[in-house]
Chain A
Amino acid sequence: MCNNSVFCQIVPPFLSDKDVKELDVQFRERRTIKSDLEAMPAVAFLGTKRVKRFIYDCTNTIFQQLKLVRKEGGAKVKDKSVNTAYDYAGIIRTYFKKKLKFNSFDGNGSDMIFNVHYGENYNNAFWDGDEMTFGDGDGDSFLSFVNSLDVMGHELGHGVIQFTANLDYEKQPGALNEHFADVFGTAIKQSALKQDAKTADWLIGDTIVGPNFPGIAIRSMRDPGTAFSGDPQPNHMDNFFGGSDDHFGVHINSGIPNRIFYLASMEITTQKATRIWFDALKQLKYNADFKAFKKAVVASTTKAEKSKSVGKGSVLKIAGAFKSVGL
């Protein structure tokens, strides 16, 4: 019985029983090591190392880095998901390096590892400390999670956050963690599509929702709470989610800073807002709350205004965006 399964595994035909056992042991050891890692803030923000892309096929099992199917410089393969992951990874790598002067997810040029076809009908994607993993979706509520530049940018963004502020993953710091990942996702998408704040749709995950998903996307940064029927995201502190679900609402309360970023981008452009946000991220501590976030963004905007990289009056406009959501 493997319908709608996350965990049931088909052992790839090229692996013997012995291989599977060894792989399982290696996999579990590596996961244990990863969970013990304490991320260190990146010291060098622009290494000279050439970042290589590695795309692995999980062959619908839950084994990561199972079968290397395309690496840097390798020719296109038949699998569309593999090629999409490879191409999007290239766009994301270039964006961070050229626009934000940050080499790979750690600022130090580490190689980028993407796992595709994870699990069976797996409706999710995640960052795992040093690699990204994507499910194919069930074809009903969700399509392949690789099929979205903003989702892929979001996941690699979690890596960037881990190696800069290393924000906690619960309550307000967790909501900021999710928010910054969405900022990177939408900024990369807008840049690739040559859009600006006024022409962008500000949707996250609009290309991965399936035919029976009750909405148009997973999140709307412009209008949090409107992406689908029952979308729980608030767009103002008055509606802050105080429950314990979702690590105390990390994907829910991120709607509030997402709305701020949208308003700020409308004032000073998405690219300039992203640079300010990234500068602020590097100043934040792991336990930063929304108040500390505001202080850091306003300080970064002040710095940008002094250096004339944003226009006069930008600080007031950004502070106004915070005020409009009750911060």
Chain B
Amino acid sequence: MIHFKREGGFAGLSTSKEVDETDLPENIRKLLKKLPDVKTKTGKSLRRDGFKYTIEVEVEKKATQYIINEEDVSEAIAPLIEYLDALPMKPSS
């Protein structure tokens, strides 16, 4: 299972989405493997009102979480975030 969360932005709103990994298109699923390579810039970020993304990949009850600031989104993983962000909202529990 993939849990996706976007927070921050000018409005400061949080949205959560989730999707089964097997439901992802092949090209998007491949991008999950690139998440460990995302480099976070050192030093204090000066971006204000930017988005922050959290992607949690859960495989056999073991979850790995990746937190990515908008300015650290590389072109390599941009399509993954774009895809997850466009998913329908998770129903509120």
Name the contact of B48 in the complex, choosing from A5, A31, A181, A205 (C-beta under 8 A). A181
Nearest CB to that of A155 among chain B residues? Answer: B49
For chain B, the bracket of interface size reads: 20 to 34
Residues of B within 8 A of A155 (CB): 48-49
Contacting pair A4 B11 (CB below 8 A): no
Name the contact of A251 in the complex, choosing from B12, B41, B78 (C-beta under 8 A). B12
Residues of A within 8 A of B86 (CB): 3-5
A218 at the interface (CB under 8 A from B): yes
Residues of B within 8 A of A35 (CB): 41-46, 71
A7 at the interface (CB under 8 A from B): yes
A238 at the interface (CB under 8 A from B): no
Nearest CB to that of A141 among chain B residues? Answer: B11
Residues of B within 8 A of A319 (CB): none
Residues of B within 8 A of A130 (CB): 46
A87 at the interface (CB under 8 A from B): no
Chain A min CB distance to B89 (Å) = 12
For chain A, the bracket of interface size reads: 35 or more
Contacting pair A145 B82 (CB below 8 A): no
Given contacts A126-B48, A128-B46, contact A205 B71 (CB under 8 A): no
Contacting pair B9 A127 (CB below 8 A): no
Residues of A within 8 A of B73 (CB): 7
A31 to B45, CA, bound (A): 10
**Which 6 pairs between the two chains have the least Cβ-Cβ distance?**
A251-B12, A129-B46, A7-B78, A35-B41, A158-B48, A36-B43
Question: Which residues of A are in contact with B by a Cβ distance under 8 Å?
Answer: 3-8, 24, 31-32, 34-39, 123-130, 145, 151, 154-155, 158, 162, 169, 177-178, 181, 205, 218, 232, 245-247, 249-252
